[in-house]
Amino acid sequence: MAGVRLTSRDIRSESRLVVVRALLAAGEASRNGLAEATGLSLGTVSTIVQDLLKYGIVTESRLLGGGIGRPTTGLRLNADRGRVVGFYLEDRYLEATVFDAALGELTTVEAVSDESVAEADGIIAWIDRTLDTALERAQAKREDVIGVGILLPGGMQRPVKAATAPDAIWLHLDRVRDTLGLPVVVDNPLKAIATAELWLGAGRRVANAVTVSLGFGVGAGIIQDGAIVRGATNAAGEWGHSLLAFEGRQCQCGRMGCVEAYVGVPGIRRTLAETAPDHPLAAEPEDAEGPEGFDLIAALADAAEAGDPAAVAVIDRSAHYLGAALADLVAILNPEVIALTGWAAWPTWRERVAPIVRRRVREDSPGDAAADLEIELSPSCGMEGIAAIALERFMRDIGLVTTRVIPAL
């Protein structure tokens, strides 16, 4: 990595992003208010605002002063600067959400395919058609679109061959860009959820936070001093593939003993199969990746509610696994907030799961590193995050920011 600059984040560009995020948080603010909110000098804020006005990212309004004195000029993000479209692509499911340039949600459309498509032309055409539908519904034209972001679940690494629709997009990103005729960015849900939390959630009030996604797969998004930790190859946050147990359960990634093999949905099913092999919920469904996975969680919660001892035991055991694995994040990163998405939102969370998780995290974390830690359910969604990433990419393309871009994306 010789030749890398001393600092990979260009500091001027970072200041611009900080101002944009402060405006998004405030809705409307004066230059003085922005200086106060960001810690930048009024002079720096004024220079930055001038640049943002010039490129139409920000627009001036008129605020009335608090009472005495002249009215102050207010600033807001310019929602009409253009449209940003986020896509979420699974094997047979495509969702598109149109946002304005202040990340206000305008409309969402869903499309389902009867069969899985792993062939690039078909998928790209599907995305293209769905984009038209979504834009029409949002009363927008394609030339209004300043950025497209595609969420690719699982895509922590560029795949070797196209086995699923997301794989095909990874491998044919240039063709996607050519067909849509638009700037396109792809990223995985871990980074997108963390970005949403950074722009719109806990990242507004704390410097260090971790978002944790609990689904079929599990992983983390790391916010450190106001930026997403991506690492050398955008693979940072793969906490799901860190060890819970050396030489433990086989994980779908090939490694043994990963966190995911215990707290991912199939891992919870496996805990059930170990606890009560003949339990009706322990049977493998035909498509373990589908919604059946989350149905298991809901069914387990219902069974526990009804007093099923095996269900109670599995939920408690899973809560201990999760707490222990979250304590590892505390040991390594010592965040102020851990924000959970996915099955943490299951019905028994508040009554049964959260107390065990919180106690286990506190007990297992070094010293009192978790004493003031907040563990909360995150309202953030990946779609907002991928839209924020696309907006950031747009600012990069017009020269306003110099965010480091991972080559693969």
Q: Which stretch binds its own copies (CB under 8 A): 13-21, 56-64, 111-119, 340-348?
A: 13-21
User: Within positions 317 to 336, which residues make up the interface with its own copies, using CB under 8 A?
Assistant: 321, 324-325, 327-336
By CB under 8 A, the residues from 235 to 264 that bind its own copies are 235-246, 248, 253, 255, 257, 262
What is the distance of C-alpha 363 from the center of its chain?
A: 28
Q: Is residue 206 near its own copies by the rule CB under 8 A? A: yes
Q: 109, 95 in Cβ contact below 8 A?
A: yes
Quick one: 175 or 204, whose CB is closer to its own copies? 204
Burial profile 181-209: b = 16 or more Cβ within 10 angstroms, e = fewer: ebbbbbbbbbbbbbbbbbbbbbbbeeebb
89, 173, 220, 381: residue in contact with its own copies (rule CB under 8 A): 220
Q: Contact between 5 and its own copies (CB under 8 A)? A: yes
Q: Which is nearer to its own copies, 83 or 230 (CB)?
A: 230
Give the range of 106-114, 135-143, 304-312, 363-371 binding its own copies by CB under 8 A: 363-371
Task: Tell me the site size for its own copies, rule CB under 8 A.
Answer: 84
Confirm or reject binding of residue 41 to its own copies (CB under 8 A).
yes
Question: What is the smallest separation between the CB atom of 128 and its own copies, expressed in angstroms?
Answer: 29
In the list 29, 31, 35, 37, the residue contacting its own copies (rule: CB under 8 A) is: 37
Nearest approach, Cβ of residue 373 and its own copies (Å): 7
Q: Shortest Cβ distance from residue 115 to its own copies (Å)?
A: 28
Among 364, 386, 396, 409, interactor with its own copies by CB under 8 A: 364
Shortest Å distance, C-beta 216 to its own copies:
16
| Segment interacting with its own copies, rule: CB under 8 A, options 19-27, 113-121, 179-187, 284-292 | 19-27
Distances (CA, A) of 149 to 26, 162, 193: 24, 20, 13
Say whether residue 271 binds its own copies (CB under 8 A): no
Task: Report whether 220 contacts 210 (CB < 8 A).
Answer: yes
CA distance 179 to 126: 11
Instruction: State yes or no: residue 54 binds its own copies (CB under 8 A).
Output: no
Please list every residue from 65 through 104 that binds its own copies, using CB under 8 A. Answer: none
User: Any idea what DSSP says for residue 243?
Assistant: B
Position 380: which residue type?
S
Residues forming beta bridges with residue 105, ordered by sequence position: 99
44 near its own copies, rule: CB under 8 A: yes
CB-wise, 20 or 96, nearer to its own copies? 20
Residue 90 vs 238, nearer CB to its own copies: 238
Tell me: does residue 400 bind its own copies (CB under 8 A).
no
Residue 161 contacts its own copies per CB under 8 A: no
Distances (CA, A) of 325 to 23, 213, 215, 361: 36, 13, 15, 8
Q: Which range in 9-17, 60-68, 172-180, 283-291 contacts its own copies by CB under 8 A?
A: 9-17
Residue with tokens 């799901």: 240
Between residue 337 and residue 356, which ones bind its own copies under the rule CB under 8 A? none
- Whether the CB-CB separation of 10 and 3 falls below 8 Å is answered with no
Q: Which of 174, 278, 286, 372 binds its own copies (CB under 8 A)?
A: 372
How far are the Cα atoms of 214, 217, 297, 334, 352 from residue 345, in angstroms, in the given order?
Answer: 9, 15, 10, 23, 12
Q: How far is the CB of 98 from its own copies (least distance, A)?
A: 27
Q: Does 108 bind its own copies (CB under 8 A)?
A: no
What's the 3-state SS for 59-104?
EEEEECCCCCCCCEEEEEECHHHCEEEEEEECCCEEEEEEEECCCC
Q: Are 19 and 49 in contact (CB under 8 A)?
A: yes
Long-range contacts of 161-165 (CB under 8 A, 24+ apart): 162/118, 162/119, 162/120, 163/118, 164/91, 164/116, 164/118, 165/89, 165/90, 165/91, 165/92, 165/116, 165/117, 165/118, 165/123
Select the residue interacting with its own copies from 50, 139, 157, 250 (CB under 8 A): 157
- Name the CA dihedral angle for 74, 77, 80, 86, rounded to a multiple of 10 degrees: -160
Contact flag: residue 112 with its own copies (CB under 8 A): no
Indicate the residue among 50 and 139 with the shorter CB distance to its own copies: 50
In the list 162, 190, 194, 222, the residue contacting its own copies (rule: CB under 8 A) is 222
Which single residue is written with the structure tokens 């240039």?
A: 174
